[in-house]
């Protein structure tokens, strides 16, 4: 009897890890890092509860760290099988995993030097070497719906999910005593967002695992582009620094694309735009390269501009020294840095300087998980801890909701309505508890399907 267990993204949006077991194979779908609250992050340090050496293959829906950032640790624990993903995801993983490892190492080093650690010495979760070993296991598969054998009696079909470059919805079919198919939505993209193709219609399946990040919310009415125009114009008038924490992959490219459009359309003055994330800079190149996933708008932009992802006055920092030099810049400027939830990376050094600055603006353009620094600042806390120091928050806070790379609940329903036949069972995951419950209720109300919101570690037989 095949089974499906939920070892992450249950009651939270991070740590996506789903395990399919049949009598002949064990396949893990996504291998994400837990982020946010300490009890979640502690799971990154525990032995994987399902063992690593006994897993035959890993399937990756998309490159974001909350879906892939545990892979090098998993390899350290003894996993040696293939890691299946789309070409776009593979491009991004080559950038993201070594970078995640470097950040882990830099942070451990920083904590040791400043003696802000509960463990002496603080250790990285994994090293760049571990990340390199992981990359050797990658097997690129097409994301056009073609079935691929991933383990004994298990096939997978990848289709565009429209969330970030390479993101896929994956249909896993297990041939055991009986055949059963499970569709993993992965993170599902918004319709009509710039650069990337819309999500393609879902195939029929026996069980569905659907994300619910925005299960209880609808995107803002204000167009992200209009919001950016308003904020950048005001920054230019007031000589303000604009700090945008952005996921290095996806969001950063979208921001650059829209700022460039606004500049072209003369809706904003040209300000220096600093992309302070080597990862974002590399991801930007991958985005420009993978033309098969780009939408019509992007193809049109390419006709007149060979680099639609560069603003008119753009500076990309690759070294830490270059990043520090940004501190000397004065006047109106835009800094785009990772991580998107201010949970690590170069954004923290900018946050130390700009959060207390009354004239600065911090612009949230993405989801902020509970427990992250980004969430605290976005929620209006007046004092926050950054890199072990308490700093007052005096800057202006802006939130642009419409930027999400996630479908909101209405868009999830729009995607589901194209499903050729109803799934027998629906598992709602990848949401805070209220969002997951709300998403479940919307689906039940609209389609009358049976819904489950699984708990961490819960296991279901696939019948």
Contact residues for Zn ion, defined by CB under 5 A: 64, 187
Q: What CA–CA distances, in Å, run from 89 to 73, 164, 165? A: 19, 9, 7
Closest to 159 in 3D by CA, of 120, 198, 190: 198
* Minimal distance, residue 366 CB to Zn ion, in Å: 10
* Minimal distance, residue 189 CB to Zn ion, in Å: 9
* Minimal distance, residue 262 CB to Zn ion, in Å: 25
Q: Report the residue number, 274 or 341, with the smaller CB distance to Zn ion.
A: 341
Could you give phi then psi for residue 323, rounded to 5 degrees? -60, -45
* Minimal distance, residue 166 CB to Zn ion, in Å: 11
Alpha-carbon distance of 430 to 2, in angstroms, equals 22
* Minimal distance, residue 248 CB to Zn ion, in Å: 12
Token representation of residue 369: 């998980």
Token representation of residue 113: 């030097």
Alpha-carbon distance of 361 to 370, in angstroms, equals 22
Q: Report the residue number, 224 or 366, with the smaller CB distance to Zn ion.
A: 366
* Minimal distance, residue 20 CB to Zn ion, in Å: 20
Closest to 458 in 3D by CA, of 1, 8, 155, 2: 8
Q: Report the residue number, 350 or 375, with the smaller CB distance to Zn ion.
A: 375
Q: Report the residue number, 30 or 263, with the smaller CB distance to Zn ion.
A: 30
Alpha-carbon distance of 205 to 182, in angstroms, equals 6
Half-sphere exposure of 297 (CA within 13 A, CB side): 14
* Minimal distance, residue 444 CB to Zn ion, in Å: 25
* Minimal distance, residue 376 CB to Zn ion, in Å: 22
Q: Report the residue number, 187 or 276, with the smaller CB distance to Zn ion.
A: 187
Alpha-carbon distance of 50 to 384, in angstroms, equals 36
Angle formed by the axes of helices 87-113 and 128-135, nearest 10°: 170
**Do 9 and 16 meet the contact criterion of CB atoms below 8 Å apart?**
yes
Q: Report the residue number, 171 or 405, with the smaller CB distance to Zn ion.
A: 405
* Minimal distance, residue 270 CB to Zn ion, in Å: 31
Q: Report the residue number, 64 or 376, with the smaller CB distance to Zn ion.
A: 64
* Minimal distance, residue 169 CB to Zn ion, in Å: 12
For the chain, how big is the Rg over CA atoms in Å? 21
Could you give phi then psi for residue 226, rounded to 5 degrees? -65, -40
Q: Report the residue number, 64 or 346, with the smaller CB distance to Zn ion.
A: 64
Alpha-carbon distance of 131 to 127, in angstroms, equals 7
* Minimal distance, residue 63 CB to Zn ion, in Å: 8
Q: Report the residue number, 183 or 326, with the smaller CB distance to Zn ion.
A: 183
Could you please report the per-residue DSSP string of 18-69? EEEE-SS-EEEE--PPP-SSHHHHGGGGSPPTT-STT--EEE-S---HHHHT
Q: Report the residue number, 127 or 277, with the smaller CB distance to Zn ion.
A: 277
Alpha-carbon distance of 147 to 205, in angstroms, equals 14
Neighbours of 251 (CB within 10 A): 23
Token representation of residue 44: 């990154």
- Strand 3-6 and strand 459-461: the pairing is antiparallel
Alpha-carbon distance of 207 to 421, in angstroms, equals 11
Cis peptide before 66 (omega within 30 of 0): no
Q: Report the residue number, 187 or 216, with the smaller CB distance to Zn ion.
A: 187
* Minimal distance, residue 187 CB to Zn ion, in Å: 4
Q: Report the residue number, 196 or 386, with the smaller CB distance to Zn ion.
A: 196
Neighbours of 281 (CB within 10 A): 17
């Amino acid at each position: 009897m095949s089974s499906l267990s939920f070892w992450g993204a249950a009651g939270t949006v991070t740590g996506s890890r789903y395990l399919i077991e049949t009598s002949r194979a064990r396949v893990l779908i996504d291998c994400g890092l837990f982020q946010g609250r300490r009890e979640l992050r502690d799971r990154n340090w525990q032995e994987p509860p399902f063992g690593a050496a006994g897993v035959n293959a890993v399937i990756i829906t998309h490159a974001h760290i909350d879906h892939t950032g545990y892979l090098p640790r998993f390899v350290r624990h003894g996993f040696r099988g293939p890691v299946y993903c789309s070409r776009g995801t593979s491009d991004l993983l080559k950038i993201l995993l070594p970078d995640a490892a470097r950040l882990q190492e830099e942070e451990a080093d920083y904590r040791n030097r400043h003696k802000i650690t509960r463990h002496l010495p603080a250790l990285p979760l994994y090293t760049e070497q571990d990340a390199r070993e992981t990359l050797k296991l990658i097997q690129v598969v097409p994301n056009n719906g073609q079935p691929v054998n991933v383990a004994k009696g298990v096939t997978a079909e990848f289709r565009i999910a429209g969330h970030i470059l390479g993101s896929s919805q994956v249909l896993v079919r297990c041939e055991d005593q009986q055949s059963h198919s499970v569709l993993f939505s992965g993170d599902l993209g918004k319709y009509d967002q710039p650069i990337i193709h819309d999500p393609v219609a879902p195939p029929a399946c026996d069980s569905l695992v659907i994300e619910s990040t925005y299960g209880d919310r609808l995107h803002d009415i204000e167009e992200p582009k209009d919001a950016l125009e308003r904020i950048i114009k005001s920054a230019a008038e007031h000589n303000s620094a604009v700090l945008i924490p952005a996921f290095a992959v996806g969001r950063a490219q979208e921001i650059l694309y829209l700022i460039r459009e606004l500049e072209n359309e003369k809706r904003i003055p040209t300000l220096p735009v600093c992309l302070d994330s080597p990862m974002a800079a590399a991801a930007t190149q991958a985005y420009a390269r993978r033309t098969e996933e780009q939408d019509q708008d992007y193809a049109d932009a390419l006709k007149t501009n060979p680099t639609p992802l560069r603003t008119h006055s753009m500076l990309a920092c690759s070294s830490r020294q270059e990043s520090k030099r940004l501190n000397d810049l004065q006047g109106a400027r835009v800094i785009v840095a990772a991580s998107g939830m201010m949970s690590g990376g170069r954004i923290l050094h900018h946050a130390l300087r700009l959060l207390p600055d009354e004239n600065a603006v911090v612009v949230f353009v993405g989801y902020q998980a509970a427990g992250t620094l980004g969430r605290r600042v976005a929620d209006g806390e007046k004092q926050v801890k950054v890199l072990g120091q308490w700093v007052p928050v005096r800057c202006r806070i802006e939130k642009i909701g419409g930027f999400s790379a996630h479908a909101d609940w209405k868009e999830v329903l729009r995607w589901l309505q194209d499903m050729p036949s109803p799934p027998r069972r629906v598992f709602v995951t990848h949401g805070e508890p209220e969002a997951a419950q709300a998403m479940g209720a919307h689906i039940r109300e609209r389609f009358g399907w049976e819904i489950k919101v699984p708990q961490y570690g819960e296991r279901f037989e696939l019948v």
